Amino acid sequence: MDWQSSADTVPSSFISEAQARSLLGKPPATGAWRDGDPVGNRRFVDIGPLGFEAGGFLPHVRLAYESWGELSPAADNAILVLHALTGDSHVIGDPGNGHATGGWWDGMIGPGRVIDTDRWFVIAPNMLGGCQGSTGPSTPAPDGVEWGIRFPYLTIRDQVAAQIVLADKLGIDRFAAVIGGSMGGMHALEWAIEVPDRVERLAVLAAPPLTTADQVAQNSVQIEAIRTDPLFRSGAYYDAPDGDGPTRGLALARRMALINYRSPGELNTRFERSWQSEISPLGSGGRFAVESYLDFHGNKFTRRFDANSYITLVEAMNSHDVGRGRGGIAAAIGRISADTLVLGIDSDRLFPLAGQREIARLLPNNIDGSAPVVLESAFGHDGFLIELDDVGTHLRRLLAD
């Protein structure tokens, strides 16, 4: 789910002094990119008004995106890369100049790399409802006040509908490949089901055909952690007089999520029962190293994300069910005509292998027959972000002529 985790990985079991210093000072009320901030590598496309599945409406929508390579004269070499819940359009590149973190897939895209930009034109949009340049809750509404909790309820299909308009605006009628992992994999599936003639190849990485009740339950607790923060202020925290936002609730939601992004084996091996304090573990005033790790990443997250966006995007993820209104999952996946790679991770406790196995079994054109590629990794769900050599090997197969 979290495309930023590989960039955020702390190499040791303990948080360094330099890392701790990076979080000194009061966090902002929102970590959203705002108009007037450095643009960095972002580009913007206005896609006009949009209506949504649940009846909501936005009078004006803008999507931010980044791109690499050159679109061919025939516009037949475009690849769409779709980020996960807390990712954004900054797939590769350094932090700074308006980008809070470095690229979440550095090493995967570029000249001579797995997704070779000497051959392919690659675009990565920040999803609708996000907080890094695309229209979302932190964007001013027509009355000049941020949308906040007034932002319409979005589904995965609504977000894909916005991406389809973006492709139209860029003159791309058909993608050579659509690639997504976790929540981005949900978008990729919807692309291939909703407009199958516009997707030649498809890669679904660590994503399910629907969000299960168990997953909705976990998501609901994260949302409640934000809403019960007294500084959430019913979502109207952007211009609070004291400058305080719901950073404690957002950090707690992030900590909850991060547990599911990694595997029990990895956390147990990496941290064991290490105690990050000179005080005896039987005393008071200290904490376990794994607690310090979660706290560090929760606090860091508040400096690059927006609490209202987190709620909006998690609720969109809860809507995911490719079979809804299409006669069930089998009928929906049967509409996919693209050559497809399905990849799952053996230690993934967020979106377990059962989901990828169901997708792979139902696909008309699975490049691996009726089974998914199973990545053996100690890193859990985040394995598709970290095990770049293995993931790259399979993406090369998909992209080969």
| Cα–Cα dist 401/395, whole Å | 12
Catalytic annotation, residues: 182, 348, 381
Distance CA 129, CA 96 (A): 23
Q: Which residues pair with 110 in a beta bridge?
A: 116
- Measured from the Cβ of residue 34, the count of other Cβ atoms closer than 10 Å reads 15
Residues 6 or more apart in contact with residue 120 via CB below 8 angstroms = 69, 77, 78, 79, 176, 177, 399
204 forms beta bridges with 180, 342
Q: What is the DSSP string of 161-202?
A: HHHHHHHHHTT-SSBSEEEEETHHHHHHHHHHHHSGGGBSEE
Which among 188, 52, 181, 64 has a CA at the least distance from the CA of 131?
Answer: 64
d(CA 32, CA 302): 9
Distance between terminal CA atoms of the chain?
30
